Structure 1
């Protein structure tokens, strides 16, 4: 391995270490209270060295959000593969989404951060646009499932499948975010588990597009 390749490998490794350290800090202290010094110390770096890799904690947070949305999209894409009707695929989509929430909550939580952090000032920046691109891929995948279901006669006719996919995705994500950001309160104030409520949420969403025959 040459010097250039070694330097690139070391830079990638160090960047991953910083990202993982920042994830721990943000989850432990929250975005507002976390500082670049906290991240530097968690990464076992000086603050000056940290700034060689990232110019701000906002830049790091968008990198975490991009990784989170990419991980979610990969799960959903994997769930789409295979045989079955559009309803089968939508059910697999549901289980993949719920598995992401239950099995990889730290990553899921950074999809919550995206809406919290997004504003008119930063939504046009490259880091935010990367996240938007992955979100659009998720919408496209859900649109494909809905279009297949309409052709199969399983889903009712929807004049704009992509708009319907967007609305469904927004409904589901917003509800999941609401529960995710109030987990402790939810557990104390409800007789139902998070899993039961989230599964019901998906089922109601799916029921809204099912073609009902007389």
Structure 2
């Protein structure tokens, strides 16, 4: 996989240097995903990328900085918002299910992303509190989620049912929905061969979650009226 990496902080780089940075990040992503960030050294990354270690240090100070840049790029491509057009002539609950289906399929079609972020979360939770995390957390916090289709559909369901539910609560419903799907995807996709062997359960079976989560949200909304 080639990371099409073009963040603002590197916008003035030459084409040659940017191409080299893309190669380094792509190779780092591969080894982080298969070997784990904690078990990978800068020497390992330089070796798999076919460069001298001092060349790697011309681009990055440490592996944590590289991992965070890869995670930021993944979020740019496979973040929480998916393209979905709401049809006001169709049932909103069914459309929320359709949105979740699209969301899950995004993960199923990009399993490497799930495997990487599982390694990422584990490393930064247990092994590192790198200064670069402040930059990452700021980007996460500044993401514009106000136009997310799922939140809009939940708001439309409330309006249709004449429920007076706080906007902040609708946001929390969305993030609960998002984290339930992502959490199960991380657990199952990261260890899919084990789940298939022991439980005959594959990543595609995650889609069973959709009616459970959506119907749960819809039936719970009335109890959260102001």
Q: Same fold judged by TM-score > 0.5?
A: yes
Superposition CA RMSD, Å: 3.0
User: 2:133 and 2:201 mapped to 1: Cα distance?
Assistant: 40
Segments of structure 2 that go 5 or more residues without pairing to the other structure are 1-10, 221-226
Shift in CA distance, 151/183, structure 1 to aligned 2, threshold 3 Å: same
**Paired position in structure 2 for 1:147:** 155
**Paired position in structure 2 for 1:186:** 195
**Paired position in structure 2 for 1:176:** 185
Shift in CA distance, 124/111, structure 1 to aligned 2, threshold 3 Å: closer
Residue 91 (structure 1) shift? 2.9
The equivalences for 1:1-214 within 5 A come to 8-73=14-79, 76-78=81-83, 80-84=84-88, 85=90, 86-119=92-125, 121-122=129-130, 125-134=134-143, 137=145, 140-153=148-161, 158-159=165-166, 160-196=169-205, 198-211=206-219
Partner SS state of residue 40, structure 2 = coil
User: 2:147 and 2:122 mapped to 1: Cα distance?
Assistant: 20
Moved more, 41-50 or 180-189: 180-189
Shift in CA distance, 41/108, structure 1 to aligned 2, threshold 3 Å: same
1:24-63: per-residue Cα shift (whole Å, max 9, x none)? 1112222222111121122221111111111111111111
Shift in CA distance, 139/48, structure 1 to aligned 2, threshold 3 Å: farther
Higher fraction of helix: 1
Contact 1:139 1:162 in 2 (8 A): no
1:75-122: per-residue Cα shift (whole Å, max 9, x none)? x431x2353454354234223322222211112223323432344934
Higher relative contact order structure (alpha carbons within 8 Å, sequence separation ≥ 6): 2
User: 1:164 and 1:157 mapped to 2: Cα distance?
Assistant: 14
**Paired position in structure 1 for 2:5:** none
Partner SS state of residue 45, structure 1 = coil
1:142-185: per-residue Cα shift (whole Å, max 9, x none)? 3233212222339x765521122222222222222121232222
Residue 208 (structure 1) shift? 0.5
State the TM-score, normalized to the length of structure 1.
0.79
